């Protein structure tokens, strides 16, 4: 598997404060923002040092061009992001740029496109190991640590290169609202989001992530939201993927599968309330790889999204990477112990089935 990295992703400084919020004079020690360098440095380290290392080929990423950014984002929005680089700007209580952060944002988007171009050239899966994440960034809105929508820009680059139909599957613990917004009226891009059922969270995230957000106009039926109750773990995630995601993608028949690889649905992530383990991410990734082989001639692009426990997220990434290679996880899980409420799984699955049916979805 080809992995793409650019050192400039480390130049995006998210500072410190009350976890993700601005600093407080009431605290003796401010905390480093959860979307900061340690999470990605550990992810890179475990891929280079762990058992999967021999199966990976590392490549240099690049910055995105303005034309690539404009394929997804509005021109006025881009001007605001570029202008914020000089002095820095807090776009919301949780989402900020420091002076000089723009290089990191450009590297994340461009490295995602570079990995996509590798997939198209070789037919082999590729991963963009990047930060900041991008799936909350709408065409004209920064949100949730995200500024440029890396998967959205990569999808548009794939279409510019000649592919017609692109599927994006996002299993980050939070709703991929920016990706949804960018393709909401476009039937050529099928967007799927498995996420904790958190609802809207203000002006920067007005989308609810509910099952009835199905697309608009020509795009009606091309956005599938799968909101999962808090406490969902490996079994429910895999059953939902099998029951809803797989038939939807088979019906859509994509030319390319993009995975927005958020790892914050893990048991130990400070930004989620789910119970997915290393094994759970491995199983999801193996299913994604099998679908790419079945539907897309192996064209699979993986773009890193969330994952905010800087130690356990790295282990989850190692397990997922082995899954994207079609292999079981080989590392021993150092932490997982919280039991999934197995007796609730069937009831949760039935409840989601009912919500989807009420929203007009039908699955084979």
Cα dihedral sign, 4-194-343-284: negative
73 is catalytic: no
- Own/partner contacts of 17-26, CB < 8 Å, gap of 24 or more, are 19/270, 20/93, 20/94, 20/145, 21/93, 21/94, 22/90, 22/93
Do residues 284 and 241 make contact, with C-beta atoms less than 8 angstroms apart?
Answer: yes
What phi and psi values does residue 165 have, to the nearest 5 degrees? -120, 125
Token look-up 């599938």 returns: 224
Q: What is the token pair recorded at 280?
A: 């759970």
Do residues 42 and 314 make contact, with C-beta atoms less than 8 angstroms apart?
Answer: yes
Q: Which residues, in sequence order, are CB contacts of 2 under 8 Å at separation 6+?
A: 56, 57, 59, 115, 118, 122, 124, 125, 126, 127
Angle between helices 278-295 and 312-324 (to 10 degrees): 30
Selecting among 6, 136, 174, 195, the annotated active-site residue is 136
Q: Which residues are catalytic?
A: 136
């Amino acid at each position: 598997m080809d992995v793409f990295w650019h050192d400039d992703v480390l130049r995006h400084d998210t500072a410190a404060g009350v976890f993700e919020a601005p600093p407080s004079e009431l605290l003796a020690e401010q905390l480093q923002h959860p979307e900061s360098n340690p999470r990605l440095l550990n992810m890179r380290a475990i891929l280079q040092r762990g058992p999967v290392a021999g199966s990976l080929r590392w490549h240099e990423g690049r910055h995105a061009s303005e034309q690539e950014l404009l394929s997804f984002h509005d021109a006025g929005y881009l001007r605001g992001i570029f202008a914020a680089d000089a002095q820095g700007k807090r776009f919301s209580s949780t989402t900020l740029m420091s002076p000089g952060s723009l290089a990191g944002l450009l590297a994340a988007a461009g490295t995602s496109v570079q990995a996509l171009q590798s997939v198209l050239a070789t037919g082999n899966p590729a991963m963009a190991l990047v930060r900041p994440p991008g799936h909350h960034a709408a065409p004209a809105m920064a949100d949730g640590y995200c500024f440029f929508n890396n998967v959205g820009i990569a999808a548009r680059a794939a279409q510019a290169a000649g592919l017609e139909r692109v599927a994006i599957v996002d299993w980050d613990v939070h709703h991929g609202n920016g990706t949804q917004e960018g393709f909401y009226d476009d039937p050529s891009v099928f967007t799927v989001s498995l996420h904790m059922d958190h609802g809207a969270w203000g002006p920067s995230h007005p989308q609810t992530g509910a099952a009835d957000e199905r697309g608009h106009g020509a795009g009606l039926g091309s956005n599938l939201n799968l909101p999962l109750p808090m406490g969902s773990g490996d079994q429910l995630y895999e059953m939902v993927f099998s029951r809803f995601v797989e038939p939807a993608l088979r019906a859509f028949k994509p030319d390319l599968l993009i995975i927005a690889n958020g790892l914050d649905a893990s048991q130990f992530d400070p930004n989620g309330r789910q119970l997915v383990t290393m094994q759970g991410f491995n199983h999801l990734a193996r299913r994604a790889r099998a679908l790419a082989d079945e539907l897309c001639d192996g064209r699979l692009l993986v773009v890193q999204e969330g994952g905010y426990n800087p130690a356990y997220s790295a282990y989850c990434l190692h397990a997922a990477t082995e899954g994207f290679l079609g292999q079981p996880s080989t590392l021993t899980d150092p932490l997982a112990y919280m039991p999934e409420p197995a007796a609730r799984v069937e009831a949760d699955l039935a409840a989601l089935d009912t919500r989807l049916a009420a929203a007009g979805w039908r699955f084979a």
